[in-house]
């Protein structure tokens, strides 16, 4: 099987494994950033954040929307890149040829 | 690894901003130069920035029972070097600070330092040393991306422990606690990040040899 497919399957397995390990509902899967915030409050209970976010997503739904947008924009551009490159006509892709030409220009 | 808005004392926030700014400014200068000298790699630069965008949006469950996200900075560190990556990472962190209330403006300097400077420098250094030692590109890219990711999270933990030393254990005691949250959670995610970065570099070797040789990732001979 293609090496890339194997690696992608490994990534998927690594993401699913924690859900299986904590199957009994003994884990909240809260964000590490939030846990760090709790720890700060524990270490220094009187610490008051001195600045608050200028704008916050009004709800968890909107936050998910924006995260999805971030991922979609990124994935879209990466996909666009490979789409363009892999669509190069075959006759421009023989192995050494374009590179040899490039080399000769210098 | 996002230190939240207002969660660093002002003096720390300013200090991290001052430390990070020169890297980002130099990176911006490098990008201008790169785009002028090698306009062919412009689209790849955009795609590398986009890779940071995707990966840092993915909050993935970890074996510790909490969620965290990869950084995606290893790819552009290998391709374009760490200071160019500092600029790409800063753009993503700004997006998240302004639109998602993830991280913040006051903590931007500290977050840029961990995700867009330390991680990329570690990644770049590992990539260079591992390829120089004669190992293949995939091995070098895997360890660069994986350990660069870990380095980012270790940095965040240390930044927080300097700002919030443990009343009993001091900075070291706090570091143990913060590392407990960030570093262990990150291990499987860092492995995922290493694998995904290798997949992208494999695809680049297949479809983007010209850019890779322009960036001296593949020598024209090996390509």
| Exposure class string for B22-31: b at 16+ Cβ within 10 A, else e | ebbeebeebb
Which percentage of chain B shows pLDDT scores above 70? 98
Using an 8 Å CB-CB cutoff, list chain B residues near A95: 223
Q: Is residue A76 part of a domain?
A: yes
Q: What mean pLDDT do residues B50-73 have?
A: 95
Beta strands in chain A (DSSP E): 30-31
Report which of B216, B219, B215 is spatially closest to residue B42, judged by C-alpha positions. B215
Q: Is residue B1 part of a domain?
A: no
Q: Is residue B2 part of a domain?
A: no
Give which of A30, A32, A55, A82 to mutate to test B binding, by max B Cβ within 10 Å. A32
Using an 8 Å CB-CB cutoff, list chain A residues near B209: 98-99
Q: Is residue B5 part of a domain?
A: no
Q: What is the pLDDT of residue B36?
A: 97
Chain B, nearest residue to A66 by Cα: B100
> Could you read off the pLDDT of B5-15 as tens digits, one per residue?
999 999 999 99
Q: Measure A85 CA to nearest chain B CA, in Å.
A: 6
> Could you read off the pLDDT of B14-44 as tens digits, one per residue?
999 999 999 999 999 999 999 999 999 999 9
Q: Is residue B161 part of a domain?
A: yes
> Could you read off the pLDDT of B141-165 as tens digits, one per residue?
999 999 999 999 999 999 999 999 9
Statement: residue A90 has pLDDT above 60:
no
**Residue A75, domain extent:** 48-83
Q: What is the pLDDT of residue A99?
A: 52
Q: Is residue A54 part of a domain?
A: yes
Number of domains in chain B: 1
Q: What is the mean pLDDT of chain B?
A: 95
Q: Give me the CATH number covering residue B134.
A: 1.10.1760.20
Q: What is the pLDDT of residue B223?
A: 44
**Residue B198, domain extent:** 10-215
Is B62 within 8 Å of chain A by CB? yes
Q: Measure A101 CA to nearest chain B CA, in Å.
A: 10
What value of ipTM does the predicted structure carry?
0.92
Number of domains in chain A: 1
Q: Is residue A91 part of a domain?
A: no
Q: What mean pLDDT do residues A84-98 have?
A: 64
Q: Measure A54 CA to nearest chain B CA, in Å.
A: 7
Q: Is residue B32 part of a domain?
A: yes
Using an 8 Å CB-CB cutoff, list chain A residues near B98: 54-55
User: B199 and A4 in contact (C-beta within 8 Å)?
Assistant: yes
Using an 8 Å CB-CB cutoff, list chain B residues near A9: none
Q: What mean pLDDT do residues B42-58 have?
A: 96
> Could you read off the pLDDT of B62-73 as tens digits, one per residue?
999 999 999 999
Lowest mean pLDDT among A39-53, A80-94, B195-209: A80-94
Q: Is residue A1 part of a domain?
A: no
Q: Is residue B137 part of a domain?
A: yes
Q: Which residue in the block uniquely carries the two structure tokens 């998910």?
A: A64
């Amino acid at each position: 099987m293609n090496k890339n497919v194997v690696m992608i399957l490994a990534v998927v397995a690594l993401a699913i494994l924690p859900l299986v390990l904590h199957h009994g509902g003994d884990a909240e899967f809260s964000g590490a950033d939030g846990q760090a915030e709790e720890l700060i409050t524990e270490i220094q209970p009187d610490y008051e954040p001195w600045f608050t976010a200028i704008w916050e997503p009004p709800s968890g739904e909107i936050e998910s929307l924006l995260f999805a947008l971030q991922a979609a924009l990124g994935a879209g551009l990466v996909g666009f890149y490979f789409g363009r490159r892999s669509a190069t006509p075959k006759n421009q892709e023989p192995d050494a040829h374009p590179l040899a030409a490039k080399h000769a220009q210098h | 690894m996002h230190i939240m808005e207002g969660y660093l004392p002002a003096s720390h926030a300013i200090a991290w901003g001052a430390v990070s700014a020169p890297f980002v400014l130099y990176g911006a200068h490098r990008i201008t130069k790169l785009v002028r000298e090698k306009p062919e790699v412009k689209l790849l630069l955009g795609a590398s920035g986009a890779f940071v965008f995707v990966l840092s949006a993915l909050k993935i469950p970890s074996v510790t029972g909490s969620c965290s996200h990869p950084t995606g900075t290893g790819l552009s560190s290998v391709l374009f070097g760490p200071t160019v990556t500092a600029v790409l990472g800063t753009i993503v962190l700004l997006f998240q600070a302004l639109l998602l209330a993830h991280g913040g403006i006051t903590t931007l300097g500290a977050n840029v330092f961990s995700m867009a400077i330390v991680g990329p420098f570690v990644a770049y250094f590992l990539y260079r040393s591992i390829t120089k030692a004669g190992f293949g590109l995939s091995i070098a890219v895997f360890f660069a991306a994986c350990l660069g990711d870990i380095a980012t999270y270790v940095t965040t933990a240390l930044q927080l422990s300097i700002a919030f030393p443990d009343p009993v254990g001091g900075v070291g005691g706090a570091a143990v606690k913060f590392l407990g949250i960030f570093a262990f959670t990150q291990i499987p995610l860092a492995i995922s990040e290493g694998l995904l970065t290798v997949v992208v570099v494999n695809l680049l070797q297949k479809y983007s040899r010209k850019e890779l040789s322009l960036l001296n990732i593949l020598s024209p001979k090996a390509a």
